[in-house]
A = this chain, B = another copy of it.
Protein backbone atom coordinates (compact mmCIF):
# COMPACT_ATOMS: atom_id res chain seq x y z
CA UNK A 1 0.00 0.00 0.00
CA UNK A 2 1.35 3.40 -1.04
CA UNK A 3 0.84 6.65 0.80
CA UNK A 4 2.54 9.90 1.62
CA UNK A 5 1.24 11.84 4.58
CA UNK A 6 2.58 13.93 7.43
CA UNK A 7 2.65 11.41 10.27
CA UNK A 8 0.87 8.12 10.73
CA UNK A 9 0.95 8.60 14.49
CA UNK A 10 -1.68 11.31 14.19
CA UNK A 11 -4.23 8.62 13.35
CA UNK A 12 -5.94 8.37 16.79
CA UNK A 13 -6.74 12.07 16.79
CA UNK A 14 -7.94 11.80 13.20
CA UNK A 15 -10.16 8.91 14.14
CA UNK A 16 -11.96 11.04 16.75
CA UNK A 17 -12.53 13.72 14.17
CA UNK A 18 -13.92 11.24 11.67
CA UNK A 19 -16.20 9.76 14.30
CA UNK A 20 -17.62 13.18 15.09
CA UNK A 21 -18.17 13.88 11.40
CA UNK A 22 -19.77 10.49 10.79
CA UNK A 23 -22.11 11.09 13.72
CA UNK A 24 -23.52 14.01 11.70
CA UNK A 25 -23.35 12.33 8.30
CA UNK A 26 -26.10 9.75 8.57
CA UNK A 27 -26.44 9.38 4.79
CA UNK A 28 -22.84 8.72 3.82
CA UNK A 29 -21.78 7.06 7.06
CA UNK A 30 -24.91 5.09 7.84
CA UNK A 31 -27.82 4.67 5.44
CA UNK A 32 -25.85 4.51 2.19
CA UNK A 33 -22.92 2.78 3.82
CA UNK A 34 -25.03 0.03 5.35
CA UNK A 35 -26.63 -0.78 2.04
CA UNK A 36 -23.34 -0.67 0.14
CA UNK A 37 -21.61 -2.87 2.69
CA UNK A 38 -24.24 -5.49 1.92
CA UNK A 39 -24.47 -5.01 -1.84
CA UNK A 40 -20.82 -4.20 -2.58
CA UNK A 41 -21.73 -2.26 -5.72
CA UNK A 42 -18.16 -1.02 -6.17
CA UNK A 43 -16.45 -4.37 -5.73
CA UNK A 44 -12.99 -4.19 -7.27
CA UNK A 45 -13.58 -0.75 -8.78
CA UNK A 46 -10.59 1.61 -8.71
CA UNK A 47 -11.50 5.10 -7.62
CA UNK A 48 -9.11 8.02 -7.95
CA UNK A 49 -10.14 11.07 -5.95
CA UNK A 50 -8.76 14.59 -5.61
CA UNK A 51 -10.68 16.18 -2.77
CA UNK A 52 -10.09 18.31 0.33
CA UNK A 53 -8.72 15.80 2.84
CA UNK A 54 -11.09 16.56 5.71
CA UNK A 55 -13.03 14.53 8.22
CA UNK A 56 -16.09 14.61 6.00
CA UNK A 57 -14.20 13.43 2.93
CA UNK A 58 -12.85 10.66 5.12
CA UNK A 59 -16.40 9.47 5.78
CA UNK A 60 -17.03 9.31 2.03
CA UNK A 61 -13.77 7.50 1.26
CA UNK A 62 -14.47 4.95 3.97
CA UNK A 63 -17.93 4.27 2.58
CA UNK A 64 -16.56 3.80 -0.94
CA UNK A 65 -14.01 1.38 0.39
CA UNK A 66 -16.59 -0.56 2.38
CA UNK A 67 -18.59 -0.75 -0.86
CA UNK A 68 -15.73 -2.75 -2.32
CA UNK A 69 -13.71 -0.05 -4.06
CA UNK A 70 -9.97 0.47 -4.01
CA UNK A 71 -9.46 4.14 -3.30
CA UNK A 72 -6.56 6.48 -3.92
CA UNK A 73 -6.91 10.04 -2.62
CA UNK A 74 -4.91 13.23 -3.17
CA UNK A 75 -5.49 16.72 -1.79
CA UNK A 76 -7.42 19.22 -3.89
CA UNK A 77 -5.71 22.13 -2.17
CA UNK A 78 -2.17 22.37 -0.74
CA UNK A 79 -3.43 24.01 2.45
CA UNK A 80 -6.65 22.26 3.34
CA UNK A 81 -5.47 18.81 4.45
CA UNK A 82 -6.21 17.71 8.03
CA UNK A 83 -3.07 15.66 8.68
CA UNK A 84 -4.60 13.61 11.46
CA UNK A 85 -7.50 12.62 9.24
CA UNK A 86 -5.09 11.62 6.47
CA UNK A 87 -3.30 9.37 8.94
CA UNK A 88 -6.48 7.68 10.08
CA UNK A 89 -7.47 7.06 6.45
CA UNK A 90 -4.20 5.33 5.75
CA UNK A 91 -4.76 3.12 8.76
CA UNK A 92 -8.13 2.26 7.25
CA UNK A 93 -6.42 1.04 4.09
CA UNK A 94 -7.00 4.05 1.89
CA UNK A 95 -4.01 5.26 -0.08
CA UNK A 96 -3.46 8.96 0.53
CA UNK A 97 -1.04 11.51 -0.86
CA UNK A 98 -1.69 14.71 1.09
CA UNK A 99 -0.27 16.86 3.83
CA UNK A 100 -0.87 20.43 4.89
CA UNK A 101 1.61 22.84 3.36
CA UNK A 102 2.72 20.80 0.38
CA UNK A 103 4.46 22.66 -2.43
CA UNK A 104 2.86 23.15 -5.83
CA UNK A 105 5.16 20.57 -7.28
CA UNK A 106 4.27 18.08 -4.58
CA UNK A 107 0.62 18.88 -5.12
CA UNK A 108 0.88 18.06 -8.80
CA UNK A 109 2.88 14.93 -8.15
CA UNK A 110 0.12 13.64 -5.89
CA UNK A 111 -2.44 14.26 -8.60
CA UNK A 112 -0.32 12.40 -11.08
CA UNK A 113 0.04 9.59 -8.58
CA UNK A 114 -3.75 9.32 -8.56
CA UNK A 115 -3.80 9.30 -12.35
CA UNK A 116 -1.13 6.64 -12.47
CA UNK A 117 -3.52 4.42 -10.53
CA UNK A 118 -5.53 4.11 -13.76
CA UNK A 119 -8.80 4.61 -11.97
CA UNK A 120 -12.14 3.41 -13.32
CA UNK A 121 -13.94 6.29 -11.69
CA UNK A 122 -12.50 9.73 -10.90
CA UNK A 123 -13.77 12.25 -8.36
CA UNK A 124 -12.61 15.84 -8.42
CA UNK A 125 -13.03 19.12 -6.56
CA UNK A 126 -12.01 22.02 -8.77
CA UNK A 127 -11.17 20.18 -11.99
CA UNK A 128 -7.42 19.73 -11.56
CA UNK A 129 -7.67 15.96 -11.83
CA UNK A 130 -9.92 16.13 -14.88
CA UNK A 131 -7.54 18.59 -16.55
CA UNK A 132 -4.48 16.55 -15.63
CA UNK A 133 -5.95 13.38 -17.06
CA UNK A 134 -6.94 15.03 -20.34
CA UNK A 135 -3.72 16.94 -20.78
CA UNK A 136 -1.01 14.79 -19.24
CA UNK A 137 -2.47 11.30 -19.13
CA UNK A 138 -4.80 11.00 -22.15
CA UNK A 139 -4.21 7.24 -22.33
CA UNK A 140 -5.56 6.91 -18.80
CA UNK A 141 -8.46 9.29 -19.45
CA UNK A 142 -9.50 7.15 -22.43
CA UNK A 143 -10.17 4.27 -20.08
CA UNK A 144 -11.97 6.14 -17.32
CA UNK A 145 -15.61 5.02 -17.05
CA UNK A 146 -16.81 8.29 -15.66
CA UNK A 147 -16.12 11.10 -13.23
CA UNK A 148 -17.76 13.48 -10.77
CA UNK A 149 -17.09 17.10 -9.99
CA UNK A 150 -17.91 18.89 -6.76
CA UNK A 151 -17.52 22.61 -7.59
CA UNK A 152 -18.75 25.33 -9.91
CA UNK A 153 -15.23 26.04 -11.08
CA UNK A 154 -14.65 22.41 -11.99
CA UNK A 155 -17.98 22.27 -13.79
CA UNK A 156 -17.05 25.34 -15.83
CA UNK A 157 -13.78 23.67 -16.86
CA UNK A 158 -15.57 20.45 -17.79
CA UNK A 159 -18.16 22.37 -19.80
CA UNK A 160 -15.36 24.04 -21.75
CA UNK A 161 -13.84 20.63 -22.53
CA UNK A 162 -17.24 19.32 -23.58
CA UNK A 163 -17.78 22.32 -25.85
CA UNK A 164 -14.40 21.85 -27.48
CA UNK A 165 -15.25 18.21 -28.04
CA UNK A 166 -12.29 16.89 -26.07
CA UNK A 167 -14.02 15.43 -23.04
CA UNK A 168 -13.14 11.76 -22.86
CA UNK A 169 -15.61 10.38 -20.34
CA UNK A 170 -19.03 11.12 -18.91
CA UNK A 171 -18.87 13.48 -15.95
CA UNK A 172 -21.54 14.27 -13.39
CA UNK A 173 -21.83 17.82 -12.03
CA UNK A 174 -22.61 17.02 -8.40
CA UNK A 175 -22.41 20.74 -7.78
CA UNK A 176 -25.78 21.31 -9.42
CA UNK A 177 -27.81 18.78 -7.45
CA UNK A 178 -30.68 20.47 -5.66
CA UNK A 179 -29.86 18.63 -2.46
CA UNK A 180 -26.34 20.03 -2.65
CA UNK A 181 -27.14 23.64 -3.53
CA UNK A 182 -29.99 23.85 -1.07
CA UNK A 183 -27.78 22.84 1.83
CA UNK A 184 -24.41 24.14 0.83
CA UNK A 185 -25.35 27.60 -0.21
CA UNK A 186 -28.49 28.60 1.56
CA UNK A 187 -28.29 26.84 4.89
CA UNK A 188 -24.60 25.95 5.11
CA UNK A 189 -23.07 29.25 4.06
CA UNK A 190 -25.98 31.15 5.57
CA UNK A 191 -25.08 29.88 9.03
CA UNK A 192 -21.32 29.70 8.67
CA UNK A 193 -20.86 33.17 7.20
CA UNK A 194 -22.65 34.76 10.17
CA UNK A 195 -20.70 32.41 12.42
CA UNK A 196 -17.46 33.57 10.80
CA UNK A 197 -18.32 37.22 11.36
CA UNK A 198 -19.14 36.59 15.02
CA UNK A 199 -16.01 34.52 15.67
CA UNK A 200 -13.79 37.10 13.98
CA UNK A 201 -15.28 40.10 15.76
CA UNK A 202 -17.39 38.94 18.73
CA UNK A 203 -19.85 41.73 17.98
CA UNK A 204 -23.55 41.66 18.74
CA UNK A 205 -25.70 41.24 15.63
CA UNK A 206 -28.87 42.47 17.35
CA UNK A 207 -29.46 46.11 16.54
CA UNK A 208 -27.01 46.19 13.64
CA UNK A 209 -27.63 47.16 10.03
CA UNK A 210 -26.37 44.28 7.89
CA UNK A 211 -25.84 44.76 4.15
CA UNK A 212 -25.85 41.62 2.02
CA UNK A 213 -24.57 42.02 -1.53
CA UNK A 214 -26.25 39.56 -3.86
CA UNK A 215 -29.52 37.65 -3.46
CA UNK A 216 -28.56 34.29 -4.93
CA UNK A 217 -28.78 31.20 -2.72
CA UNK A 218 -25.84 32.27 -0.57
CA UNK A 219 -27.14 35.81 -0.14
CA UNK A 220 -30.59 34.50 0.76
CA UNK A 221 -29.12 32.28 3.43
CA UNK A 222 -27.06 35.08 4.92
CA UNK A 223 -29.92 37.59 4.87
CA UNK A 224 -32.19 35.06 6.58
CA UNK A 225 -29.69 34.32 9.32
CA UNK A 226 -28.70 37.96 9.83
CA UNK A 227 -32.36 38.75 10.44
CA UNK A 228 -32.64 35.68 12.62
CA UNK A 229 -29.80 36.90 14.83
CA UNK A 230 -31.63 40.18 15.37
CA UNK A 231 -30.21 42.63 12.83
CA UNK A 232 -32.53 45.60 12.99
CA UNK A 233 -32.31 46.08 9.27
CA UNK A 234 -31.07 43.76 6.56
CA UNK A 235 -30.34 45.56 3.31
CA UNK A 236 -29.87 43.60 0.10
CA UNK A 237 -28.07 44.98 -2.95
CA UNK A 238 -28.74 43.38 -6.31
CA UNK A 239 -28.30 44.05 -10.01
CA UNK A 240 -31.09 41.73 -11.13
CA UNK A 241 -34.59 43.23 -10.81
CA UNK A 242 -36.31 39.88 -10.29
CA UNK A 243 -34.07 38.92 -7.42
CA UNK A 244 -34.25 42.43 -6.01
CA UNK A 245 -38.03 42.26 -6.03
CA UNK A 246 -38.00 38.88 -4.35
CA UNK A 247 -35.75 40.31 -1.64
CA UNK A 248 -38.23 43.13 -1.10
CA UNK A 249 -41.13 40.73 -0.88
CA UNK A 250 -39.17 38.54 1.53
CA UNK A 251 -39.04 41.48 3.90
CA UNK A 252 -35.67 43.09 3.22
CA UNK A 253 -34.73 46.57 2.21
CA UNK A 254 -33.17 46.93 -1.23
CA UNK A 255 -30.98 49.80 -2.40
CA UNK A 256 -27.80 50.37 -4.42
CA UNK A 257 -24.52 49.78 -2.57
CA UNK A 258 -23.71 53.47 -2.88
CA UNK A 259 -26.60 54.20 -0.49
CA UNK A 260 -26.26 51.11 1.65
CA UNK A 261 -22.63 52.06 2.22
CA UNK A 262 -23.75 55.03 4.30
CA UNK A 263 -25.93 53.11 6.75
CA UNK A 264 -24.42 49.64 7.05
CA UNK A 265 -22.60 48.35 10.12
CA UNK A 266 -21.64 45.00 8.59
CA UNK A 267 -21.25 44.22 4.88
CA UNK A 268 -21.17 40.66 3.51
CA UNK A 269 -20.64 40.05 -0.19
CA UNK A 270 -22.01 37.01 -2.03
CA UNK A 271 -22.40 37.99 -5.67
CA UNK A 272 -19.84 35.98 -7.64
CA UNK A 273 -18.75 39.26 -9.17
CA UNK A 274 -15.75 41.47 -8.48
CA UNK A 275 -15.35 44.91 -6.90
CA UNK A 276 -18.81 44.84 -5.38
CA UNK A 277 -17.44 46.99 -2.60
CA UNK A 278 -14.99 49.53 -3.98
CA UNK A 279 -13.59 53.03 -3.58
CA UNK A 280 -16.83 54.96 -3.97
CA UNK A 281 -18.51 52.78 -1.37
CA UNK A 282 -15.70 52.71 1.16
CA UNK A 283 -15.54 56.49 1.02
CA UNK A 284 -19.12 56.69 2.29
CA UNK A 285 -18.93 54.14 5.07
CA UNK A 286 -19.35 54.78 8.77
CA UNK A 287 -16.44 54.66 11.17
CA UNK A 288 -16.12 51.06 12.32
CA UNK A 289 -17.77 49.42 9.31
CA UNK A 290 -16.99 45.71 9.02
CA UNK A 291 -16.44 44.05 5.62
CA UNK A 292 -16.64 40.33 5.01
CA UNK A 293 -16.86 38.16 1.93
CA UNK A 294 -18.78 34.92 1.48
CA UNK A 295 -18.25 34.56 -2.26
CA UNK A 296 -15.78 32.09 -3.76
CA UNK A 297 -12.99 34.48 -4.68
CA UNK A 298 -11.45 37.30 -2.68
CA UNK A 299 -12.28 39.87 -5.34
CA UNK A 300 -15.71 40.97 -4.17
CA UNK A 301 -14.30 43.47 -1.71
CA UNK A 302 -11.81 45.32 -3.86
CA UNK A 303 -8.77 45.36 -1.61
CA UNK A 304 -6.60 47.55 -3.88
CA UNK A 305 -9.10 50.37 -3.33
CA UNK A 306 -9.05 49.80 0.41
CA UNK A 307 -5.26 49.87 0.41
CA UNK A 308 -5.22 53.03 -1.68
CA UNK A 309 -7.63 54.85 0.59
CA UNK A 310 -5.89 53.85 3.82
CA UNK A 311 -3.16 55.82 5.56
CA UNK A 312 -2.36 52.93 7.87
CA UNK A 313 -3.21 49.29 8.30
CA UNK A 314 -2.81 46.81 11.12
CA UNK A 315 -4.10 43.49 12.35
CA UNK A 316 -6.23 44.13 15.43
CA UNK A 317 -7.55 40.62 15.99
CA UNK A 318 -6.55 37.36 14.30
CA UNK A 319 -8.97 37.74 11.40
CA UNK A 320 -9.56 41.49 11.56
CA UNK A 321 -7.45 44.02 9.68
CA UNK A 322 -8.01 47.67 10.46
CA UNK A 323 -7.65 50.20 7.63
CA UNK A 324 -7.49 53.76 8.84
CA UNK A 325 -8.66 56.33 6.30
CA UNK A 326 -7.35 59.85 5.89
CA UNK A 327 -10.21 61.38 7.91
CA UNK A 328 -9.73 58.99 10.80
CA UNK A 329 -12.53 56.58 9.96
CA UNK A 330 -11.63 52.95 10.52
CA UNK A 331 -12.77 50.13 8.23
CA UNK A 332 -12.37 46.51 9.35
CA UNK A 333 -11.73 43.82 6.77
CA UNK A 334 -12.32 40.24 7.89
CA UNK A 335 -10.26 37.28 6.75
CA UNK A 336 -8.43 39.44 4.23
CA UNK A 337 -11.49 39.38 2.05
CA UNK A 338 -11.40 35.64 1.63
CA UNK A 339 -14.31 33.33 2.43
CA UNK A 340 -15.17 34.39 5.96
CA UNK A 341 -16.87 31.10 6.81
CA UNK A 342 -13.82 29.07 5.90
CA UNK A 343 -11.14 31.34 7.28
CA UNK A 344 -12.73 32.62 10.47
CA UNK A 345 -15.05 29.70 11.18
CA UNK A 346 -14.94 25.98 10.40
CA UNK A 347 -16.62 26.03 7.01
CA UNK A 348 -19.59 23.83 6.24
CA UNK A 349 -21.04 21.72 9.02
CA UNK A 350 -20.76 17.97 8.45
CA UNK A 351 -24.52 17.75 7.81
CA UNK A 352 -24.03 19.90 4.74
CA UNK A 353 -21.17 17.84 3.37
CA UNK A 354 -23.26 14.73 4.02
CA UNK A 355 -25.80 15.85 1.43
CA UNK A 356 -23.15 16.72 -1.08
CA UNK A 357 -21.19 13.52 -0.56
CA UNK A 358 -24.32 11.37 -0.64
CA UNK A 359 -24.77 12.71 -4.16
CA UNK A 360 -21.13 11.83 -4.82
CA UNK A 361 -21.48 8.26 -3.56
CA UNK A 362 -24.66 7.59 -5.46
CA UNK A 363 -23.28 9.24 -8.61
CA UNK A 364 -20.22 7.00 -8.49
CA UNK A 365 -22.47 3.96 -8.16
CA UNK A 366 -24.57 5.26 -11.07
CA UNK A 367 -21.51 5.66 -13.27
CA UNK A 368 -20.43 2.13 -12.47
CA UNK A 369 -23.87 0.70 -13.19
CA UNK A 370 -24.17 2.62 -16.44
CA UNK A 371 -20.64 1.91 -17.61
CA UNK A 372 -20.51 2.18 -21.37
CA UNK A 373 -24.03 3.52 -21.69
CA UNK A 374 -23.23 7.22 -21.29
CA UNK A 375 -21.52 9.25 -23.98
CA UNK A 376 -18.64 11.50 -22.92
CA UNK A 377 -20.51 14.59 -21.83
CA UNK A 378 -21.37 16.65 -18.78
CA UNK A 379 -24.42 15.34 -16.92
CA UNK A 380 -26.57 16.61 -14.12
CA UNK A 381 -27.05 14.40 -11.11
CA UNK A 382 -29.97 12.19 -12.15
CA UNK A 383 -33.17 13.56 -10.56
CA UNK A 384 -33.88 10.18 -8.97
CA UNK A 385 -30.57 10.42 -7.11
CA UNK A 386 -31.34 13.98 -6.02
CA UNK A 387 -34.72 12.86 -4.80
CA UNK A 388 -33.22 9.76 -3.15
CA UNK A 389 -30.80 11.93 -1.20
CA UNK A 390 -33.65 14.06 0.07
CA UNK A 391 -35.58 10.93 0.99
CA UNK A 392 -32.64 9.46 2.89
CA UNK A 393 -32.01 12.73 4.68
CA UNK A 394 -35.61 12.86 5.84
CA UNK A 395 -35.33 9.25 6.97
CA UNK A 396 -32.17 10.04 8.88
CA UNK A 397 -33.99 12.89 10.62
CA UNK A 398 -36.84 10.56 11.49
CA UNK A 399 -39.26 12.50 9.32
CA UNK A 400 -41.99 10.75 7.36
CA UNK A 401 -43.72 12.24 4.35
CA UNK A 402 -47.05 11.52 2.73
CA UNK A 403 -47.73 9.05 -0.06
CA UNK A 404 -50.06 9.48 -3.00
CA UNK A 405 -53.00 7.11 -3.13
CA UNK A 406 -53.64 5.41 -6.50
CA UNK A 407 -56.63 7.72 -6.97
CA UNK A 408 -54.51 10.78 -6.35
CA UNK A 409 -51.88 9.58 -8.81
CA UNK A 410 -54.52 9.07 -11.45
CA UNK A 411 -55.97 12.51 -10.79
CA UNK A 412 -52.59 14.21 -11.14
CA UNK A 413 -51.85 12.33 -14.35
CA UNK A 414 -55.16 13.44 -15.79
CA UNK A 415 -53.74 16.97 -15.72
CA UNK A 416 -50.70 16.10 -17.71
CA UNK A 417 -50.90 16.53 -21.43
Are B386 and A256 in touch, CB under 8 angstroms? no
Determine which of B179, B191, B408 lies in contact with A274 in the assembled complex, contact meaning CB atoms within 8 Å. Answer: B408
A400–B238 Cα distance when bound, in Å, is 9
Kindly report how many copies of this chain are found in the complex they form together. 4
A 170-199 to B, binary, CB cutoff 8 A, 1 in contact else 0:
000000001100110011101100010011
Are A191 and B179 in touch, CB under 8 angstroms? no
Docked complex: A354-406 residues within 8 A CB-CB of B:
386-388, 390-391, 393-394, 397, 399-405
Are B203 and A350 in touch, CB under 8 angstroms? yes
Task: Tell me the minimal C-beta distance from A43 to chain B in angstroms.
Answer: 29
Task: Tell me the minimal C-beta distance from A132 to chain B in angstroms.
Answer: 19
Interface stretch of the complex, out of A63-71, A107-115, A136-144, A242-250? A242-250
A317–B23 Cα distance when bound, in Å, is 13
Given contacts A224-B230, A399-B244, contact A349 B256 (CB under 8 A): no
Are A251 and B231 in touch, CB under 8 angstroms? yes
Are A191 and B182 in touch, CB under 8 angstroms? no
Interface size on A, residues (CB 8 A): 95
Are B207 and A191 in touch, CB under 8 angstroms? no
Instruction: Enumerate the 8 nearest inter-chain pairs by beta-carbon distance, A residue then B residue, closest first.
Output: A228-B228, A241-B390, A204-B349, A241-B391, A204-B351, A187-B206, A245-B390, A202-B346
The 20 sampled A-B contact pairs (Cβ below 8 Å) are A16-B314, A16-B317, A20-B316, A20-B317, A23-B330, A188-B204, A190-B206, A191-B205, A191-B230, A195-B198, A204-B352, A225-B228, A230-B250, A232-B248, A241-B388, A242-B390, A244-B390, A245-B394, A248-B399, A275-B405
